[in-house]
Chain A
Amino acid sequence: MKLVVNGRERDVDAPGDMPLLWVLRDLLGYTGTKFGCGMALCGACTVHLDGKAVRACVTPVSAVGDRAVTTIEGLSPDGSHPVQRAWAEIDVVQCGYCQPGQIMTAVALLATNPKPTDADIDAALSGNICRCGAYQRIRAAVHRAAELKGGA
């Protein structure tokens, strides 16, 4: 089957029930998308399908269809997306394993809600676990990204 990942069309030879997560990681080499729970409980595998955040670990590759897949690698070539810039400025990351998922969820939130409140951020990101507990800076960085997006 064909998949469009980060703007590139890719041929994939995979069983239809194989989760998109493993197709991206093991067949296509996009290892920025992380495996954390396999049950859509932690958000580490969050990617975009046509700009909407989905959990790749429970999305069968056959369900993707012609929707465009965006992974953390496709967000910007150099970490210059406003959300990534905000993450750097606020010094969010710790171990960093959950951060691609956090960032992809934040990007999807800001696309529909350009000025989220703390409560909006908590609601949108409560599906993304960070065991390092970088939550306070994640909140601050989403606000900062909203400013960067608005002002840029």
Chain B
Amino acid sequence: MPALSRRDFLRSSAVAGTGLVIAFVVPRRAEALLAGPPGKKKPLPPPNAFLRIGTDESVTVLLAHSEMGQGIWTTLPLLLAEELDCDWSKIRVEHAPAAPVYAHTAMGMQMTGGSTTTWSEYERYRTVGALARQLLVRAAAEEWRTDAAKLRVENGFVIGGKRRASFGQLAERARALPTPEQVTLKPPEKWKLIGKPMRRLDTPEKITGRALFGMDVQFPGLRTAMVSRSPVFGGTLRSFDATQAREVPGVEQVVQVPSGVAVVATNAWAAKLGRAALRTDWDLGAGATLDTDRMRAEALALSRTAGPVALTKGDTDAALGKAARRLEADYEVPYLAHAPMEPLNCAVKVEGDRCDVWTGTQFQTMDQKTAAEVLGLKPEQVNIHTTFLGGGFGRRATTASDFVREGCEVAKAAKVPVKVVWTRDDDIRGGYYRPAFHHRIEAGLDAHGRPLAWRHTVVGQSLLAGTPFEGAMIKNGIDEASVEGIVDSPYLAAIPARKVTLHSPRPPIPVLWWRSVGNSHTAFAMECMIDELAHAAGQDPLSYRLAMLKGSPRHARVLQTAAEKARWGRPPGAGRALGLAMHASFESVFAQVAEVSVEPEGLIRVHRVVCALDCGQPVNPLGIEAQVQSGIAFGLGAALHSAITFRDGRVQESNFHDYQVLRIDEMPRVEVHVVKSSAKMGGIGEPGLPPIAPAVGNALFALTGKRLRSLPFRLA
């Protein structure tokens, strides 16, 4: 696949830049070094891929990942600037176009997800900064006919004795220099930015309404479309009557596309009215019988049988038989929608053999490939313009590129530039849910209350079955994403006999990773069950866990920190109780203590959450704090309120009145404690979510004596 041309880059930069923009070349040698072990060389990068320094003093950082709230608009420039020593106030940021050079350093495709951005770019963005700095210093040394070693760099200037030159003044000369043979990154004791609280760079546009989201893309000639889709998953269109739809003022075209019928109009309101006036007749197919109560009963029945084995050690059946005490429990979680604040949308303009796509996406490589396939183009003829994402949480990373595919289909059928806009109803009813899961756990304790055996059966849809990732990711019938957080649990490692099996039923419901993926339900089952064991053993939930974590000091330390900061062991006041949970995911360890009360009518209040975490080297503590608050809010909303349910194949929920999420009056006071650590860097965007539901569930048990094993929590 040919690389993007320099002209393309300059064109994309013209939006933000002023004056002449001079490019630095990211040298192939350094890039190859960072690309992985020898023998696995990636294609050579095009020039100018990650950084541009302008003669106008601008420093523009191009992001290989998407900003969806998690703060990489600030973190990646921070990494680069740490080495470049530029003037932080001069930094501009842009989303990179879709191109092979921006492939994820670990995943091999351009994407944002899995809480991987910061650790996966930790080397690459610092290296780019260091390379540019070296070129600028050499440019100054050449100009001043002096030894580069005698020069220093400060805040966007190269300084030697009384002479100083700005990056902008040096840019042109630096550009002509050969690329450095090697770079040395600063030792941590010289860091000025990494580890310091840094405010976000995207604030100015986001507090003034200037920030461009996909929904905001407008240009002359762009139409807006809404699509009437099957009322149940997998239905096919028999016929439609657009007579009345076409009479709606502003409606220009009604076209059939594979996903339904698109009403193309001059504005969104006309498209919405036009769509409401459509008459459609669907062959509903097998999806018409979907029913939540029945699926729950089926999952319960399946959980009594063993499925493909995900983990086995020791003789679990025998150990359970010998146990002094045996506990059994069923934990359940529902289907969940991501419901990002910005409903999905995709704008597409096709011109000859070129296509432009504007959308907030987490999955550029798949989207580019998909658009090319729909439009009969080559991927490099498709320009993906990544806008800000009004939330992602996984929904904007579909293996099927569903909303981009549909946008391209509508543009192809209507033969005009068009932005397909989803309403909130379309979003809530549109599938790609976190699947419902059922966990059956049987545990055996010895006479001292210590766990001897753990038999665990998981029932729930695979995220990857039926996708292009199935072959690579599903092994021996096990989708790892369904059992992550169980098979790698440090608690299980401490239980001599353990067996985990998995059933992956395949109802016709589109499912997808939802913030924290499998951990969003496995942490709930694991941490509540461990709590049950502690209570059954008559032991303090903290000491019981710490005894199990003797072989996992990193986890124990985080748990202990959260407990200490929350003053575990001291009663929190009348009518309140504490609950704790520890769960490691995305290479980070998180523990939370929740303080709860229950109002007379059964309303659950979470007042305070103390969170301790070990993510390895923290890069931006201010961003970490925000992401922890965010993960807790997202998980707590689901734990208290959210569920997608089916009757006669129809999704029963449609908007924020019946698919409820957390609001400000339910937001607990969150305290974040980052544990100093030399562990490998882990993620931050997702791992704050999994512990909140079990921490609250465990607190509710401590308060009420009721063990709530199903989400969302219902006390009545």
In B658-690, the 8 Å CB interface with A consists of 661-665, 667, 669-670
Task: Let me know if A130 and B341 touch, CB within 8 A.
Answer: yes
Alpha-carbon distance between A68 and B504 when the two chains are bound, in angstroms = 57
Alpha-carbon distance between A35 and B389 when the two chains are bound, in angstroms = 14
Contact status of A133 and B662, CB under 8 A, knowing A15-B249, A87-B203: yes
Q: A42: CB under 8 A from chain B?
A: yes
Q: B401: CB under 8 A from chain A?
A: no
A116 — which chain B residues lie within 8 A by C-beta?
Answer: none
Task: Let me know if A87 and B424 touch, CB within 8 A.
Answer: no
Alpha-carbon distance between A130 and B392 when the two chains are bound, in angstroms = 13
Which of B207, B421, B622, B661 contacts A131, CB < 8 Å?
B661
Q: A5: CB under 8 A from chain B?
A: no
Contact status of A135 and B218, CB under 8 A, knowing A30-B209, A98-B341, A130-B341: no
Q: A141 CB to closest chain B CB, in angstroms?
A: 10
> Nearest chain-B residue to A100 (Cβ)?
B209
Specify which of B202, B207, B632 lies most central, judged by the most chain A CB atoms within 10 Å of its CB.
B207
Alpha-carbon distance between A127 and B637 when the two chains are bound, in angstroms = 15
Q: A38: CB under 8 A from chain B?
A: yes
Which 8 A/B pairs are nearest by Cβ-Cβ distance? A32-B209, A133-B633, A97-B390, A95-B69, A96-B206, A94-B69, A135-B667, A72-B209
Q: A55: CB under 8 A from chain B?
A: no
Q: A79: CB under 8 A from chain B?
A: yes
Alpha-carbon distance between A113 and B633 when the two chains are bound, in angstroms = 27
Task: Let me know if B69 and A132 touch, CB within 8 A.
Answer: yes
A44 — which chain B residues lie within 8 A by C-beta?
Answer: 341
In B189-238, the 8 Å CB interface with A consists of 199-200, 202-213, 215-216, 218, 224
Interface positions of A (Cβ within 8 A of B): 15, 18-19, 22, 25-27, 29-39, 41-42, 44, 71-73, 75-76, 78-79, 84, 87-88, 91-100, 103, 121-123, 125-139
Alpha-carbon distance between A101 and B147 when the two chains are bound, in angstroms = 56
Task: Let me know if A123 and B203 touch, CB within 8 A.
Answer: no
Q: B395 CB to closest chain A CB, in angstroms?
A: 10
Specify which of B211, B224, B669 lies most central, judged by the most chain A CB atoms within 10 Å of its CB.
B211
Task: Let me know if B267 and A97 touch, CB within 8 A.
Answer: no
Count: A-B pairs, CB below 8 Å: 184
| 5 additional contacts (CB under 8 A) given A84-B207, A129-B341 | A22-B267, A42-B656, A88-B199, A97-B390, A136-B667
Task: Let me know if B664 and A91 touch, CB within 8 A.
Answer: no
Q: B422 CB to closest chain A CB, in angstroms?
A: 10
Task: Let me know if A133 and B629 touch, CB within 8 A.
Answer: yes
Alpha-carbon distance between A57 and B614 when the two chains are bound, in angstroms = 43
Q: B514: CB under 8 A from chain A?
A: no
Q: B257 CB to closest chain A CB, in angstroms?
A: 22
> Nearest chain-B residue to A103 (Cβ)?
B207
Task: Let me know if B202 and A93 touch, CB within 8 A.
Answer: yes
Alpha-carbon distance between A72 and B209 when the two chains are bound, in angstroms = 6
> Nearest chain-B residue to A14 (Cβ)?
B269
Q: B678 CB to closest chain A CB, in angstroms?
A: 28
B662 — which chain A residues lie within 8 A by C-beta?
Answer: 133, 135
Alpha-carbon distance between A100 and B669 when the two chains are bound, in angstroms = 23
B213 — which chain A residues lie within 8 A by C-beta?
Answer: 34, 97
In B65-92, the 8 Å CB interface with A consists of 67-71
Contact status of A131 and B391, CB under 8 A, knowing A121-B664, A136-B670: yes
B667 — which chain A residues lie within 8 A by C-beta?
Answer: 133, 135-136, 139
Alpha-carbon distance between A26 and B211 when the two chains are bound, in angstroms = 16
Task: Let me know if B208 and A72 touch, CB within 8 A.
Answer: yes
Which of A31, A96, A128, A132 contacts B202, CB < 8 Å?
A96
> Nearest chain-B residue to A88 (Cβ)?
B203
Task: Let me know if A25 and B71 touch, CB within 8 A.
Answer: no
Task: Let me know if B207 and A79 touch, CB within 8 A.
Answer: yes
Task: Let me know if A41 and B341 touch, CB within 8 A.
Answer: no
Alpha-carbon distance between A95 and B342 when the two chains are bound, in angstroms = 9
> Nearest chain-B residue to A26 (Cβ)?
B267
B269 — which chain A residues lie within 8 A by C-beta?
Answer: 18-19, 22, 26
Q: B343: CB under 8 A from chain A?
A: yes
Q: B403: CB under 8 A from chain A?
A: no
Q: B268: CB under 8 A from chain A?
A: yes
Q: A45 CB to closest chain B CB, in angstroms?
A: 11
Which of B218, B267, B663 contacts A31, CB < 8 Å?
B218
Task: Let me know if B341 and A42 touch, CB within 8 A.
Answer: yes
Task: Let me know if A79 and B268 touch, CB within 8 A.
Answer: no
Interface string of B328-372 (1 = CB under 8 A from A): 000000000001111100000000000000000000000000000
Alpha-carbon distance between A130 and B629 when the two chains are bound, in angstroms = 12
Task: Let me know if A133 and B268 touch, CB within 8 A.
Answer: no
Contact status of A129 and B663, CB under 8 A, knowing A22-B268, A26-B267, A41-B657: yes
> Nearest chain-B residue to A102 (Cβ)?
B664
Q: B249 CB to closest chain A CB, in angstroms?
A: 7
> Nearest chain-B residue to A127 (Cβ)?
B663
B343 — which chain A residues lie within 8 A by C-beta?
Answer: 35-36
Alpha-carbon distance between A81 and B389 when the two chains are bound, in angstroms = 25
Which of B211, B268, B421, B665 contacts A96, CB < 8 Å?
B211
Which of A95, A99, A139 contacts B664, CB < 8 Å?
A139
Alpha-carbon distance between A133 and B341 when the two chains are bound, in angstroms = 11
In B416-454, the 8 Å CB interface with A consists of 421, 423-424
A127 — which chain B residues lie within 8 A by C-beta?
Answer: 663
Task: Let me know if A35 and B268 touch, CB within 8 A.
Answer: yes
Q: A3 CB to closest chain B CB, in angstroms?
A: 15
B633 — which chain A residues lie within 8 A by C-beta?
Answer: 130, 132-133, 135
Q: B652: CB under 8 A from chain A?
A: no
B664 — which chain A residues lie within 8 A by C-beta?
Answer: 121-122, 125-126, 128, 130, 135, 138-139
> Nearest chain-B residue to A32 (Cβ)?
B209
Alpha-carbon distance between A79 and B205 when the two chains are bound, in angstroms = 9
Q: B561 CB to closest chain A CB, in angstroms?
A: 20
> Nearest chain-B residue to A74 (Cβ)?
B209
> Nearest chain-B residue to A42 (Cβ)?
B656
Q: B516 CB to closest chain A CB, in angstroms?
A: 14
Task: Let me know if B656 and A133 touch, CB within 8 A.
Answer: no
B391 — which chain A residues lie within 8 A by C-beta?
Answer: 95, 97, 131-132
In B382-403, the 8 Å CB interface with A consists of 388-393
Task: Let me know if A95 and B388 touch, CB within 8 A.
Answer: yes
> Nearest chain-A residue to B340 (Cβ)?
A131
Q: B655: CB under 8 A from chain A?
A: yes
Specify which of B200, B213, B342, B393 lies most central, judged by the most chain A CB atoms within 10 Å of its CB.
B342
Q: B626: CB under 8 A from chain A?
A: yes
Which of A38, A98, A129, A132 contacts B630, CB < 8 Å?
A132
Q: A6 CB to closest chain B CB, in angstroms?
A: 11
